[in-house]
Amino acid sequence: MQGSKVAHDFAQRECTVHASLNHANIVKLYGYTETSTDYVLVMEYAGENCDYLSRKVLRDLSPIKSESLLKLWSTQLLSALAYLHDRGIIHQDIKLENVLLRHPDKSATSTEYEPAEIKLIDFGLCSVIADPSTQMSFMEQKVGTEKYQAPEVASGAWISSAIDVWAFGVLLYELAVGYKPQTLENLVNVNYYQPNKGCVKMPFFQKDWAKREPQLLDLVSRCL
């Protein structure tokens, strides 16, 4: 019974929060209804091949080689996160599986190339900051996806929007090279990047980052 109540509370919060959002890079929730056993959500259709990023990186271990697309999609995701954080909302489960790509409708008369756009989904684990003056939220029970969790994520911990920034850093890292930074833990011949003493030492293979702009490695490291 307790488990059912917790699940119900999470679902209710997801619907309430998601319904209040209106951003180009967040999938729209058009409406929802509650049955005796479930919540039914009616959302924007992201189209075919919307899971392109997770399939390309998680399944094929292949990075996004285009610098322009990587910049575009990371900027769009950051825009969505900034929108949430400005409203006191922490997503708490930023990961590739929750970042879809909506490809533009193909028109027989259109000759211009239009890139796909980011659509952030799944607010089932989100948290709302009750006191804006503190910018902190109490995490009653540990939630999220392990490889994307910031060090401070724990049951009974006070967390902030910084945990989303950490997860974004992991996501950007794997988009850039095709694997997560944790993959390199305990390996030999690994380089470490630390822009300043306030940042953790981020492991990386020089050969995998050689063709990337130096600013990208710096940005990822500052997120972690």
Q: What residues are annotated to the active site?
A: 93
Q: Hey, what amino acid is at 220?
A: V
Task: Report the C-alpha gap between 25 and 34 in whole angstroms.
Answer: 26
Task: Report the C-alpha gap between 145 and 122 in whole angstroms.
Answer: 13
171 in the Ramachandran plot: left (φ > 0), alpha (ψ -120 to 50) or beta?
alpha
CA neighbor of 67 nearest in space, from 184, 182, 223, 214: 214
Exposure string of 30-59, with b = 16+ CB inside 10 Å and e = fewer, is: eebeeeeeebebeeeebeeebbebbebbbe
Determine how many CB atoms are found less than 10 A away from the CB of residue 117.
Answer: 16
